[in-house]
Structure 1
Amino acid sequence: MTMKQNVIIKGTKDGLMFLLNDDCLFDDVIEEIKEKLEHSHQAILTGPIMRVTVKTGNRKLTPFQKELIKDVVKIQGNLYIHSFESEEDELKKQPEDQVQLISGTIRSGQVYRFEGNVLFVGDVNPGGNIIATGDIYILGSLRGLAHAGFGGNKDAVIAASVMKPTQLRIADVVSRSPDQWEKHAIQEYAYVKDDQVVIDPIQYFTKFKKIMNSVI
């Protein structure tokens, strides 16, 4: 049976990438880096200066562990560590305006919850709830409750093709009473201004066009 490598070295257009096994002991990682640089990968040590990106997977390195890897690598005169990147770091680098595309119908008594921004294709019926930590975009009728910016994000917005909600919430700001929505049956979006939920026609919301272009 072939043993799993603790360190895989790959060439990239920017230099080298070290892929570290996140299941093994850290000492085993250090030993394998030494072994590969001193024996099996000597060819890369005779060329020009190359930067190294270290991918650590789910392993979160301590500052001391990072310094140990740097010390091992810098012994080889033409290599230097450019960055350390974990899976957690990769998730943090995802664009904030990334949107999940979901379709269906939210019926009375149902609660749909989402992390980040969501584009919901379908209707939210009276008694239905849609909640997101980011923005909520509804291609359909919003006749239930929508809560954007759950967790405190007052920059979040709520947009719908037909805006007739029982209630809107953005962060901890609650909208006006539902009887005032009856006259509105056009595409609109809601946002917070001066600690109040404000409604405007969707054509004034330039970000909406970018969102639609990115998911459709």
Structure 2
Amino acid sequence: MVKSKQRKSQHVIIKGTKDGLTFMLDDQCSIETLKEELQKTLSDRPESANESVQPVNAKLVVGKRYLDRFQIEELESLFSEEMNVSINEIESEVISKEEAEEMKQNMQVTRVVKVIRSGQVLDFKGDLLLIGDVNPGGKVKATGNIYIMGSLRGIAHAGSQGNEEAIICAAEMKPSQLRIASMIRRPPEQNGENSGFEEGECAYLNEEKEMVLDKLQILSKIRPNLSMEI
């Protein structure tokens, strides 16, 4: 077990925890200055690289500094050569342009006015608002929520990239299959009376990860973040 300790230098703070070491790196200096000080800091420590000893896990906290793949590899090599340390986590307040674009897409609402017929598939990032029907054999899919202002008689898959908070709403809920993240629900066998789905319903996962169907009015309680104060 690594003893809890803290060392502070101009650009590097080291904290020891039961899980390993945390290196808090200054995000205002240049990357070259940071590497030079890290090299000195690591070489001054009694621990040295030893292949026969299990590497110590390390977490880097880099603040508002963005590290590209090449810089990360340089730091990994530095830690490996100067001290038997393996970087297993990098915590940064900065995201890449690609990550920002992905986040933006997953927050958008796509509006579509059409009828999804048998064999057709709609697949979007973010929320989907469909003004129309999904016929049997048709499928709508979104990484976020799905809102259908019409009849859902085909397949709907919300939270397609694993978002278990996603919901499915339809004015007429008579699907052949509902799916939220990896959870699937099919309608019960028809008995000539009621399919088990009613008009104006929503589907969501409860705390036990079970798919539940309920009236739309329940949304303000189970997903309060969907509502804006007016």
TM-score by length of 2: 0.50
> Which of residues 175, 178, 182 is equivalent to 1:165?
175
| Change in CA separation of 1:89 and 1:166 when aligned onto 2, cut-off 3 Å | closer
- Greater mean deviation of Cα atoms: 95-104 or 155-164: 95-104
Distance 1:209 1:139 in 2: 21
Q: Is the 8 A contact 1:174 1:196 kept in 2?
A: no
In structure 2, stretches of 5+ residues that fail to align are 1-67, 73-92
- Tell me how far 1:131 sits from its aligned partner: 1.1
- Tell me how far 1:153 sits from its aligned partner: 1.9
| Change in CA separation of 1:119 and 1:89 when aligned onto 2, cut-off 3 Å | same
Q: Is the 8 A contact 2:132 2:151 kept in 1?
A: yes
The residue number in structure 2 matching 1:69 is: none
Q: Aligned to 1:94, what secondary structure does the other structure show?
A: helix
Query: Are positions 1:182 and 2:192 aligned together?
Result: no
Distance 2:219 2:153 in 1: 21
Query: Are positions 1:101 and 2:94 aligned together?
Result: no
The residue number in structure 1 matching 2:218 is: 204
Q: List 4+ stretches of structure 1 deviating above 4 A.
A: 60-64, 83-86, 207-213
Q: Is the 8 A contact 1:148 1:158 kept in 2?
A: yes
Pairs aligned (count) = 139
Q: Is the 8 A contact 1:136 1:148 kept in 2?
A: yes
The residue number in structure 2 matching 1:34 is: none
- Greater mean deviation of Cα atoms: 116-125 or 199-208: 199-208
Distance 1:144 1:136 in 2: 13
Letter in structure 1 aligned against 2:213 = I
- Tell me how far 1:149 sits from its aligned partner: 1.3
Q: Is the 8 A contact 1:166 1:178 kept in 2?
A: no
Distance 2:228 2:132 in 1: 15
Query: Are positions 1:149 and 2:163 aligned together?
Result: no
Q: Over aligned residues, Cα RMSD in angstroms?
A: 3.4
Identical aligned pairs, as a percentage?
43
In structure 1, stretches of 5+ residues that fail to align are 1-59, 65-82
